């Protein structure tokens, strides 16, 4: 188990709360990535606004980032610890990833 700090939205009318969270070890097909850069887009603004409904709160928003793979779960062969990666939605359905070469 790993701990991290996260910006959590609990109420659309309140500021983000910076809190520690617990992350499980990566499961099958998952990778744990140490985030070094992140983006904030219109999807995050919609989540922040409360338009998705209170059933989605509390939430840790964000789906864009870049970082370094720390650990991988069973069956992960496209990345290894130490790879630099870019994160976004899995829009193609293949789960493909493209580690950097530098």
pLDDT tens, position by position, 2-41: 898 998 999 988 898 999 999 999 999 999 999 999 888 8
In the chain, what's the furthest Cα-to-Cα distance? 43
Query: Residue 43 falls within a domain, yes or no?
Result: yes
Say what the pLDDT of residue 41 is. Answer: 80
C-alpha dist (Å) from residue 102 to 1, 32, 86: 29, 20, 13
Query: Residue 101 falls within a domain, yes or no?
Result: no
pLDDT tens, position by position, 51-97: 877 888 898 888 789 999 999 999 999 999 999 999 887 655 555 55
Query: Residue 99 falls within a domain, yes or no?
Result: no
User: Containing domain of residue 21, as a range?
Assistant: 2-87
| Residue 11: CATH number of its domain | 3.90.180.10
Query: Residue 45 falls within a domain, yes or no?
Result: yes
d(CA 22, CA 85): 22
Query: Residue 70 falls within a domain, yes or no?
Result: yes
Query: Residue 82 falls within a domain, yes or no?
Result: yes
Say what the pLDDT of residue 68 is. Answer: 97
Compute the chain's Rg from CA coordinates.
Answer: 15
Query: Residue 96 falls within a domain, yes or no?
Result: no
Say what the pLDDT of residue 91 is. Answer: 56
Query: Residue 37 falls within a domain, yes or no?
Result: yes
Q: How many domains are there within the chain?
A: 1
Residue 101: is its pLDDT beyond 90? no
Say what the pLDDT of residue 88 is. Answer: 83
Evaluate whether 87 touches 64 at the Cβ level (below 8 Å): yes
């Amino acid at each position: 188990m790993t701990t991290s700090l996260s910006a959590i939205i609990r109420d659309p009318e309140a500021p983000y709360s910076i809190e520690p969270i617990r992350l499980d070890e990566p499961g099958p097909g998952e990778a744990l990535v140490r985030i070094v850069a992140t983006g904030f887009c219109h999807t995050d603004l919609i989540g922040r606004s409360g338009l998705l409904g209170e059933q989605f709160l509390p939430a840790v928003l964000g789906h864009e980032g870049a970082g370094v793979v720390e650990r991988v779960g069973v069956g992960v062969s496209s990345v290894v610890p130490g790879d630099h990666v870019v994160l976004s939605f899995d829009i193609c359905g293949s789960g493909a990833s493209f580690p950097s070469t530098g």
